[in-house]
Amino acid sequence: MSEEFISEPIEVEYSQERMMPTAFVWRGDRYTVAEVLQEWQDWGIPNYAHVHGWIHRRHRNYYVVRTTDEKVFELYLDRPPKRREWILLKRRA
pLDDT tens, residue by residue, 41-61: 876 665 554 555 555 556 889
CB 28 within 8 A of CB 11: no
pLDDT, position 21: 96
pLDDT, position 49: 47
For residue 48, how many other CB atoms are within 10 A of its CB? 8
Residues of the chain with pLDDT under 50: 49
pLDDT, position 59: 82
pLDDT, position 83: 80
Q: What is the DSSP string of 19-70?
A: --EEEEEETTEEEEEEEEEEEEEE----GGGGTTGGGG---EEEEEEEETTS
**pTM of the predicted model, to two decimals?**
0.81
